Amino acid sequence: GRIKTYDVDLRSNNLFTSAVYYLQQNDIIYVAPNKATSQSASANQNSGLFISIAGVIISIITLIAR
């Protein structure tokens, strides 16, 4: 088969009458990330790392203080 690419605005009312409204077998949907979402995802990864490091440091201090 041929590869066809469509750009679809999900906020548009025209979506419901478009030819691409119904998905077919083997259709692939790609949603490009927006800038805010990708920055938020990287911030969440970093915060998890910092919390883990802080937990290890607190554990070591607690063990030494005993």
Per-residue b or e along 6-37, where b marks 16 or more CB atoms closer than 10 Å to that residue's CB: eeeeeeeeeeeeeeeeeeeeeeeeeeeeeeee
The reply to whether 17 falls in a domain is yes
Q: Would you say residue 5 lies in a domain?
A: no
The model's pTM: 0.43
Asked if residue 4 belongs to a domain, the reply is no
For position 55, what pLDDT does the model report?
96
State which residues form the domain around 34. 13-65
How confident is the model over 5-48, as pLDDT tens digits?
Answer: 998 888 888 888 888 889 888 899 988 877 776 666 666 677 88
Q: How many domains does the chain have?
A: 1
What is the reported pLDDT for 20? Answer: 87
